[in-house]
């Protein structure tokens, strides 16, 4: 009478392995089997069952030897394929990095392995983390495990860019996965698939070894079943890294130990500017429910204003592409990855041919936008202006956090949509991140926690945004919602 170990999350696996209820190898084997059986989701670019087993064996051996186990000992996870992993292909879901096998390990993944986690494989994503539906990957779309049902089997978007992560966690292919969030890429897919995802304060997690999209915005974070699991995993990912000068030289708090859903004495701000046209009624209703739950948890609800919210998305779509256009210059076919050399080509021809063939359309679009906004004559009108907007957005939040401890808002304006629905309209796609982008621009910690289903039976998420470095309040408010939302819905297994 074997229990299904893939039903367990991080805390349960860690505790079970530590207590000897089951072995890390047993856990890993169970998840390896789920991964192998779920190729229809296309969540993984590379599966690494052998690596996962070796890492699990090491944990079991440590336990047998009586050694102290790490905080994620025995927990197999999925690794977004934006993190460089030594000896395992790393592509950022782009053809231009096809066949690239790093000789180094990203700091975040190394931290996780040190904590005893094991790697099930490299997860699919939007190419270079650019996208909100996981339709820009060179390795094909990731399919959400969720369906509307009732005869409507249209494949749905798992969100993006961490769509492989959200799909895999939601479908129980792994108990948790890493994500990265530049403008919502953890929170939006978490919301679309009924899981929890945390983007910590900018600088909590080292960016060293993470393929860069937009350096001033990129932040790694955990995606898992619940708030506690995210707290555990974030604790294992975070920490100062002298190799990343933007990483924060601060101790990592024990977020798990300080989890509390008691919101008495806490003030929750409700930003009036987030009541936008085009937001689904279901979303607005879920927001109201969230307000009620936090009240129930003892919080005081206050109305706040974040007056520059409407400028956040346009400013984001200047700053992020600007940085990306420069960050992606290194993919030139000279030293690694793809190289296209047409007959008789000179150096410039090789660059053009390689980059034309290697980058997907959305990546090219953002390189073009970024190049444009940085060019002579346009720089001040776009880039400088966008940086000013960014400062104003930060000031909005600073003022708000004088009045409240956390901010409650929807994660997304809609639930998941069908693949193909928005892929031809970039602006409609970009709007998905309208609620997520402001916290990214200000570098603030934020999470998405599942709060229920919409009328189509698709998951919805609520977002908590916290003050700089105050992940604890974000996690605690998320936990208060989680306890009251009682979200237990699961996608029906069709894959």
Partner 1 sequence: MSNKYTVQGASGEFEVIIGLEVHAQISTQSKLFSGSSTEFGAQPNSQVSLIDAAMPGMLPVPNMECMRQAVRTGMALGAQINKYSRFDRKNYFYADLPQGYQISQLYHPIVGEGEIEVTLDEKDPDSATKRIGVERIHVEQDAGKLMHDQHPTSSYVDLNRCGVALMEIVSKPDMTSPREAGAYVKKLRSILRYVGSCDGNMEQGSMRADVNVSVRRAGEELGTRTETKNVNSIRFLMQVVEIEARRQVDLIEDGGTVIQETRLFDPNRMETRSMRSKEDAHDYRYFPDPDLLPVELDDAFLEECKQSLPELPDEKRVRYENELGLTAYNAAVLTAESETSFWFEELLAQSVERTGKSDKDLAKQCANWLLSELFGALNKLGVTLEESPVSPSQGAELLSLVADGTISGKIAKDVFEIMLETKQGAEQIVEEKGLKQVSDTGAIEAAINDIIAANEDKVAQYRGGNARLLGFFVGQTMKAMQGKANPQIVNEILKKKLDS
In terms of Cβ atoms closer than 10 Å to its own Cβ (0-12, 13-18, 19+), residue 402 is exposed
Handedness of CA 187, 190, 191, 197 (dihedral sign): negative
| Calpha distance 282→454 (Å, rounded) | 6
Task: For partner 1, give the closer residue by CB, 91 or 193.
Answer: 91
Q: 406 forms bridges with which residues in the sheet?
A: 268, 466
Binding of partner 1 at residue 383 (CB under 8 A)?
yes
Instruction: Please tell me which residue in 80, 199, 266, 422 is annotated as part of the active site.
Output: 80
The footprint of partner 1 on residues 116-135 (CB under 8 A) is: none
Instruction: Give the nearer residue to partner 1 in terms of CB position, either 67 or 330.
Output: 330
375 is a contact residue toward partner 1 (CB under 8 A): yes
Query: How many residues of this chain bind partner 1 (CB under 8 A)?
Result: 44
Q: Say whether residue 334 binds partner 1 (CB under 8 A).
A: yes
Interacting residue with partner 1 among 54, 86, 244, 483 (CB under 8 A): 244
Q: How far is the CB of 345 from partner 1 (least distance, A)?
A: 11
Q: b vs e for 390-401, b when ≥16 Cβ sit within 10 Å of the residue's Cβ?
A: bebbbebbeebb
* Residue 46 binds partner 1, judged by CB under 8 A: no
**Catalytic-residue membership of 289:** no
- Would you count residue 363 as binding partner 1 (CB under 8 A)? no
185 is catalytic: yes
- Give the interface segment with partner 1, choosing from 192-200, 304-312, 322-330, 427-435 (CB under 8 A): 322-330
For residues 198 and 208, give the distance between their C-alpha atoms in angstroms, rounded to a whole number: 19
* Residue 347 CB, nearest approach to partner 1 (Å): 6
Respond yes or no: is residue 199 known to be catalytic.
Answer: no
Indicate whether 374 belongs to the interface with partner 1 (CB under 8 A).
Answer: yes
- Around Cβ 236, how many Cβ atoms within 10 Å? 23
Tell me if 146 contacts partner 1 by CB under 8 A: no
Site for partner 1 contains 37 (CB under 8 A): no
Enumerate residues 269-298 that contact partner 1 by CB under 8 A. none
Query: Under the criterion CB under 8 A, does residue 336 sit at the interface with partner 1?
Result: yes
Q: Of these residues, 106, 167, 185, 448, which one is catalytic?
A: 185
Terminal CA-to-CA distance of the chain, rounded, Å?
A: 25
Residue 242 within binding range of partner 1, rule CB under 8 A: yes
Residue 356 found at the interface with partner 1 (CB under 8 A): no
CB of 1 to partner 1, least distance (A): 45
Site for partner 1 (CB under 8 A): which residue of 215, 279, 385, 394?
215
User: Quick one: residue 42, left, alpha or beta (phi over 0 = left, psi -120 to 50 = alpha)?
Assistant: left
- Take residue 132 and report the two structure tokens written for it: 């909100």
CA gap 183, 166 in Å, rounded = 16
What is the nearest approach in angstroms of partner 1 to the Cβ of residue 215? 4
Q: How many residues does this entry show for the chain?
A: 495
Figure out which of the listed residues 89, 260, 279, 326 binds partner 1, where binding follows CB under 8 A.
Answer: 326
The catalytically annotated residue of 94, 109, 133, 161 is 161
Q: Angle at CA 391, nearest 5°, toward 386 and 395?
A: 145
Under the rule (CB under 8 A), what is the footprint of partner 1?
83-84, 90, 92, 97, 100, 102-104, 106, 207-212, 214-216, 242-246, 322-323, 325-326, 328-330, 332, 334-336, 347-348, 351, 371, 374-376, 379, 383
Tell me the catalytic residues: 80, 161, 185
């Amino acid at each position: 009478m074997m229990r299904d170990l893939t039903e367990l999350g991080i805390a349960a696996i860690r505790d079970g392995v530590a207590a000897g209820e089951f072995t890390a190898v047993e856990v890993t084997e169970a998840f390896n089997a789920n991964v192998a059986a779920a190729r229809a989701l296309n969540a993984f670019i590379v599966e690494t069952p052998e690596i996962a087993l070796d890492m699990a064996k090491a944990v079991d051996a440590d336990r047998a030897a009586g050694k102290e186990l790490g905080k994620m000992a025995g927990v197999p996870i999925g690794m977004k394929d934006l993190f460089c992993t030594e000896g395992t292909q790393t592509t950022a879901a782009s053809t231009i990095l096809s066949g690239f096998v790093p000789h180094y390990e990203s700091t975040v993944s190394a931290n996780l392995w040190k904590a005893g986690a094991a790697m099930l494989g490299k997860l699919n994503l939007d190419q270079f983390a650019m996208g909100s539906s996981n339709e820009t990957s060179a390795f094909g779309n990731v399919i959400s495990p969720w369906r509307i049902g009732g005869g409507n089997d249209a494949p749905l978007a798992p969100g993006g860019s961490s769509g492989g992560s959200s799909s895999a966690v939601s479908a129980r292919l792994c108990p948790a996965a890493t994500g990265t969030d530049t403008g919502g890429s953890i929170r939006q897919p978490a919301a679309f698939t009924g899981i929890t995802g945390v983007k910590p304060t900018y600088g909590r997690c080292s960016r060293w070894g993470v393929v860069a999209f937009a350096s001033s915005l990129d932040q790694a974070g955990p995606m898992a079943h619940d708030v506690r699991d995210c707290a555990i995993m974030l604790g294992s990912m975070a920490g100062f890294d002298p190799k990343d000068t933007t990483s924060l030289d601060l101790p990592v708090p024990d977020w798990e130990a300080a989890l509390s859903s008691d919101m008495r004495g806490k003030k929750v701000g409700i930003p009036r500017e987030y009541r936008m046209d085009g937001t689904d009624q279901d979303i607005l209703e879920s927001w109201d429910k969230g307000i009620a739950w936090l009240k129930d948890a003892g919080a005081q609800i206050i109305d706040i204003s974040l007056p520059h919210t409407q400028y956040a998305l346009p400013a984001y779509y200047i700053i992020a592409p600007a940085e990306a256009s420069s960050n992606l210059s290194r993919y030139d076919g000279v030293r690694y990855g793809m190289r296209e050399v047409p007959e008789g080509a000179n150096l410039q021809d090789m660059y053009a041919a390689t980059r034309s063939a290697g980058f997907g359309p959305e990546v090219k679009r953002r390189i073009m936008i970024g190049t444009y906004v940085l060019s002579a004559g346009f720089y001040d009108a776009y880039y400088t202006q966008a940086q000013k907007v960014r400062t104003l957005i930060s000031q909005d939040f600073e003022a708000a956090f004088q009045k409240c401890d956390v901010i409650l808002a929807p994660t997304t304006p809609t639930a998941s949509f069908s693949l193909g629905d928005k892929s031809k309209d970039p602006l409609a796609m970009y709007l998905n991140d309208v609620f997520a982008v402001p916290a990214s621009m200000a570098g603030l910690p934020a999470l998405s926690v599942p709060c229920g289903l919409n009328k189509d039976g698709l998951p919805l998420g609520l977002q908590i945004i916290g003050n700089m470095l105050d992940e604890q309040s974000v996690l605690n408010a998320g936990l208060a919602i989680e306890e009251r939302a009682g979200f237990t819905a699961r996608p029906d297994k069709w894959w």
